[in-house]
Chain A
């Protein structure tokens, strides 16, 4: 489509000539779960991305297979913001049961595309309405009976594309990617989309002010979900063993392992796998298998969510105390209990930090972007083997399951760090081996792998108290020495883990601390706070135990607001424990209702507490 075409069309269609808003709005698609709307929504979001426009997508779905309401939100932002917004300007209403509510929630002067069989009961004279004859369009295209509902969802793709200016060629390209070259599926969907677009062209007059225009902002970027990035990170980190048990929102991480490992990790000669993925009988077994494999010397991982973490507690404590490298991904969802299994949260911070009975302190990584899901995916194995301890990587549903624009993943910059492992040759040289002796003074001891062919290699791993030879001991001195050495190891960890990301503004006296998937909302909020006249610095925590910069940041600000998605202010409490003499100036801002954070909430919460 040339520029002059657009001009002509605008002239003929625009009635209310309000100020144009280009590439800056949110759209919500209200559908019924299980109706196949995901393909339609992905076609819209991917075609926008391919038009060079920054975009993000969030699926607000129920814990249900079929029949309950689902909302897919798409945010288009020329400024590149990707956080959730509190309300959308454009509604695509395909679910009669939520239509009235959805309409009520629509932003002022919004736009509503709706199935023309629905009745408008809500008084919204400010809204531009576009009825869509979905049933008639389906009848004309006449797909096979079992594909009718599915194809019906393509009607809105066509109408919306026509009215907003999404290029049909890019939609076709997006569908080709989606159906991985299955041309008949692409053709059928395109028939519906084109019919709907033509209908809109002939029958609707553009009255709203929202426009999509091709841009060049997504060149060299990716559009991908966090769980896929995490799985790829693990694969490029050399994962050998993965065990898992199905759970939302972590299942798609294991699915991605199963999808990409066969492509990337087959032995060239034999065609056999250089990995193994086991769907375990439960999360107890999943982590137990990972512990067995990690102990034997493979790069081992498991992925789960809160309820699975609960079941993994005993093994997590054993692996911590027996010092066995494993990687555990916790894609967090809303708890307590089964909670809101399809909604996001950062509620496992304290639980995971102290997972295990007795004085257990686990190491946690906190990815805050898709790129970090990939990077921590491979780095976690290096850290687990270097520190000989479980590494918990805490993602969440929003980061893990939703689509985000991301920088390209950088190929791992350093070779594997397999940590302190003694081979038979080493043992010949040293003539001595004590599994838990702190030879180097960093708290990290040497291990041998089962099968090492040397009479000195063996040791007995146990969850019971042990001396430095790994022999059972109830001696108070042995206990103290061992535990003090483990604490020393955790001190060493502070300088090995990913450092915080710090963003400073000249003269700011107020600091914000966040972590994980709240990053986009906080970044956007910083800009808005600046416009409100409030300068703030921002530190994003990326690992616990904390790096030294965290304490420095707290000390150099008059007030520090810790922003997170849980009720108790869990990171806030960890920071107060870290710097107790500064506890009074650490303030907790929490948001925990299952929805991802919005910049507006952050701005209001900060202004409210910081006094504007």
Chain B
């Protein structure tokens, strides 16, 4: 069996530390449109997990309903998956994360699934700090139902057949920050290198990590003037920094000038390196993050990078003071109190 690491005495070049090949992280063939941003994100999810040497069996894939929510079928066939209800993936995630704290959750949602029907559950998931990676594949439209505006579409945007969108967009990063999220990032499906680094950072984070990835819909919303298109994104992407995730075991060997790099240590021992680009940005300052999002919301740029990181808030299983053993592995002896205890309880009903 491919999972048996010990038998691999001489790891070849094309296997990771577990002895798994990239093929062990594959999913079924995608049925999304050719060129869909979501496929590129799926591919980065597979690469990140392969490179991190995380066993697929230790991952659970969750989603709601929509194009984005179909994508978990297209990666990690060896992971359990749950394609749930529209906008309700956060509640499934909460139950699953609490039932088995030894598995890692990757949730894939869309802008309709998160910012419209699921905004309530999304905010409560973040507020509780459910340990998971929550990806929003954000394209500003409803693809499966043929191109209606979503709640993240820009005000004034025009779509053929649909008309003009008269409403201000919901900024999911802003919503996450306001709900006290400790990991808020935005990226662009057309920038796979950054997507990968942010995914690795998110997978190292112990609470809810929100990744808003602008992921163009090539069929319904990819005209050049749309802020959710490839052309626009490529021309207007404005990275806050050059972010690199460095695993625990690696010594940091990057050469840099003083003041050019900021380091942030993660609770799992890994490190994030932020290389300064055009201007200073401190991702550990919540007020600065809010200010930046407010200032750039309609500013004609696509700001990407790790917007905010703070790992101080305990993840939900710790808040709930749960045992370290996952609930699903507790035995009957641990789950059913003794007969004596029942007799004692009943004494009070006399």
Contact = CB atoms under 8 A, between A and B. Distances in A.
A322 to B, nearest CB: 8
B63 to A, nearest CB: 10
A297 B100 contact: yes
B84 A451 contact: no
A224 B350 CA distance: 9
B80 A461 contact: yes
Contact of A449 (B91, B328, B345): B328
B252 interface: no
A237 B88 CA distance: 28
Contacts of B97: 292
B159 interface: no
A315 to B, nearest CB: 6
Contact of B98 (A263, A278, A416, A452): A278
Contact of A461 (B81, B95, B346): B81
Nearest to A406: B349
B323 A273 contact: yes
Interface string A305-336: 00000000011001000000000000000000
Interface in B185-199: none
Contact of A455 (B3, B28, B102, B332): B3
A232 interface: yes
Nearest to B93: A292
Nearest to A471: B28
A297 B332 contact: no
A461 B92 CA distance: 12
A300 B334 CA distance: 16
Contacts of A446: none
B301 interface: no
A234 B321 CA distance: 20
Contact of A450 (B24, B80, B84, B121): B80
Interface residues of A, number: 74
A453 B24 CA distance: 14
A412 interface: yes
A457 B120 contact: no
Given A222-B350, A236-B336, A459-B80, A276 B322 contact: yes
A274 interface: yes
Contacts of A509: none
Contacts of B72: 460
Contact of B94 (A238, A289, A448): A289
Nearest to A418: B332
B327 A275 contact: yes
Contacts of A232: 342, 345
Given A267-B323, A409-B342, A452-B57, A296 B337 contact: no
Contacts of A458: 56-57, 76-81
A285 B90 CA distance: 8
B268 to A, nearest CB: 19
A514 interface: no
A498 interface: no
Q: Which of B322, B327, B345 has most chain A Cβ within 10 Å?
A: B327
Contacts of B2: 455
A221 to B, nearest CB: 8
B14 interface: no
A475 to B, nearest CB: 15
B323 A264 contact: no
A355 interface: no
A288 interface: yes
B259 to A, nearest CB: 44
Nearest to B57: A453
Given A292-B96, A297-B328, A264 B88 contact: no
- A-B pairs, 8 with minimum CB distance: A292-B95, A288-B91, A238-B335, A293-B95, A297-B328, A296-B99, A298-B99, A450-B80
14 contacts: A240-B327, A243-B94, A274-B335, A288-B91, A288-B94, A293-B96, A293-B327, A295-B92, A296-B95, A449-B80, A451-B58, A453-B58, A461-B82, A461-B83
Interface of A: 49-50, 177, 222-224, 232, 235-238, 240-241, 243, 260, 263-265, 267, 270, 272-276, 278, 280-282, 284-300, 314-315, 318, 406, 408-409, 411-412, 415-416, 448-455, 457-464, 471-472
Given A285-B94, A296-B103, A460-B83, 13 more contacts: A223-B350, A274-B327, A276-B322, A288-B84, A298-B99, A416-B335, A416-B336, A451-B326, A458-B56, A458-B77, A460-B73, A460-B80, A460-B82
